[in-house]
Structure 1
């Protein structure tokens, strides 16, 4: 029997002004999924590690199996698979945990099926898994986890994905304070309506951020990392958020924001040295308020999900 293992990276969704339409991938941090074909015609989640026993083993509730089933249904296949998930991402972290599991599962299963789909074509199947995980099939985590780099979701109907350039030297610091924040709670505090003024400001910022990526203009990126729609409400759920923002401005970072629905905070920096300084500043801020924080320093991952091994 052939076994395939794939890795899919953590992601930052929204990227401040790109609410629900922009995300990027992180290096090294992520989930692994091993897939083996079986003769049962069923998808069976055999084991999950690294989740503290919190994730469901049922095939109709687990993001790995839900994503694979969506792909099999599209193919008209009744192939069965055994699934082993190794979580490298904390749950409810705002780092695209459910998306990474689905993306890794799809890349591995796609390989066993003879690679009928490109990674971009796998995105809709991963979106089906996101519906199970967080109630909505957004692509701003699953698309960059599969495809790598920065990905813009220009439209959902039909799905229109645009991979954006990554300026040389751009680094990200991920700061994960030790508190769990459910996506449902983060969405519940959002305003139901926004003003024309806020819509205009947000549109200018997302246009500026994308232009800055194309131009390699770090100062334009910095000026554009401002969210006037989701962040003002969500930041209140994350202790130390504004204190950290003030600290990272003083060390030359480009800007910061909430990663996905939080509580993880991302910082973009023009080089690795400043990214490391941002991590140290975060440790100081969170120590003062009595919260432990995990710090991850990474370049933007342009590779996305990939195969780790292909064994017979």
Structure 2
């Protein structure tokens, strides 16, 4: 019998890096949100191990299988519903949904927390991300208050009924940013400032405002991203807009979907804030 698990995409608005020599404690604190789109992994019976991914390579899948040390044969099918390398946490969603689906298919008896730790280790090993996995255990707007994998780090979630629009102009290699000493220092200093402010008043308005300020002060925005963010923020019907961390991508929030449809923006995608979280099928 097939087993499928959906894990939502996650976009970070602002963050600071928290280094630790133990992989499960290594991570970041910050704030972001979950999307109604993400990664769905399906495991089905097969007489050999096979992988079918609709976009990207198989490196995340291979890393998870390496950690699990499983010799069983089955088919892995992944539907990645968001752009890769553009700040949507797709590698984390890939690793997490895969681990959860294999756990269900093989009746391993692992907890969701343990599956999250395995996915977090895969992320750290690949340098693909620092806090997406634990955020993907939440719902809506997610505040990461303690770094690390699920069961070690800590989060708070806030459900909101809003629409999200996004447009990506390409990719940013996360590992290049988080491994660079200068970027790490700037990200952590600026991120800590806005994290402390947000913890005092966790409103949607503050999340959007602090995200925009963070992206400006860290100087990570390209000109095309900055121009679109400014265009969104000039509209009275848009709640706020900023850059996805870390991706050459713009996101914006609105209460009414028509607020986005009335704007003249090509290749704009619209979805909803995910207030449900992980879905088992």
**What interval of TM-score do these two structures reach, taking the shorter chain for normalisation?**
0.7 to 0.9
**Which of 190, 196, 217 is the equivalent residue of 1:207?**
196
Deviation at residue 235 of structure 1 after TM alignment: 0.6
d(CA) in 1 for partners of 2:261 and 2:224?
A: 14
**Which of 107, 111, 118 is the equivalent residue of 1:118?**
111
Larger-Rg structure: 1
Native 8 Å contact 1:10 1:25 kept in 2: yes
Deviation at residue 231 of structure 1 after TM alignment: 5.8
Q: Provide structure 1 residue ranges, at least 5 long, that are not aligned to the other structure.
A: 57-61, 284-291
Deviation at residue 95 of structure 1 after TM alignment: 1.1
> What's the counterpart of residue 259 of structure 2?
277
d(CA) in 1 for partners of 2:77 and 2:88?
A: 21
> What's the counterpart of residue 272 of structure 2?
298
Deviations 1:61-113 (A, max 9, x none): x323432443x35xxx6544432223323222221221221122122112124
1:258 to 2:258 alignment: no
1:163 to 2:155 alignment: yes
d(CA) in 2 for partners of 1:207 and 1:180?
A: 29
Count of paired positions: 267
Deviation at residue 169 of structure 1 after TM alignment: 2.8
TM-score by length of 2: 0.76
Deviations 1:157-216 (A, max 9, x none): 996333323243344322223x33332454477725747xx93x6434213334443xxx
> What's the counterpart of residue 207 of structure 2?
221
d(CA) in 2 for partners of 1:137 and 1:187?
A: 8
SS in 1 for 2:221: helix
SS in 2 for 1:235: coil
> What's the counterpart of residue 22 of structure 2?
none
SS in 2 for 1:108: helix
Deviations 1:261-295 (A, max 9, x none): 111222234x134xx53565471xxxxxxxx5342
> What's the counterpart of residue 232 of structure 1?
218
> What's the counterpart of residue 173 of structure 2?
182
Instruction: Please give the residue correspondences for 1:77-88 in structure 2 after superposition, counting only pairs within 5 Å.
Output: 79-88=72-81
> What's the counterpart of residue 90 of structure 2?
97
Q: CA RMSD for the aligned pairs?
A: 3.4
Deviation at residue 234 of structure 1 after TM alignment: 1.6
Structure 1 pair 210/39, CA: closer, same or farther in 2 (3 Å)? farther
SS in 1 for 2:194: helix
Q: Provide structure 2 residue ranges, at least 5 long, that are not aligned to the other structure.
A: 18-27
d(CA) in 2 for partners of 1:282 and 1:209?
A: 32
SS in 1 for 2:269: strand
1:191 to 2:195 alignment: no
Structure 1 pair 78/145, CA: closer, same or farther in 2 (3 Å)? same
Native 8 Å contact 2:165 2:268 kept in 1: no
Structure 1 pair 158/111, CA: closer, same or farther in 2 (3 Å)? closer
Deviations 1:4-40 (A, max 9, x none): 1222222102x1355642333101x222222136677
TM-score by length of 1: 0.70
Native 8 Å contact 1:65 1:83 kept in 2: no
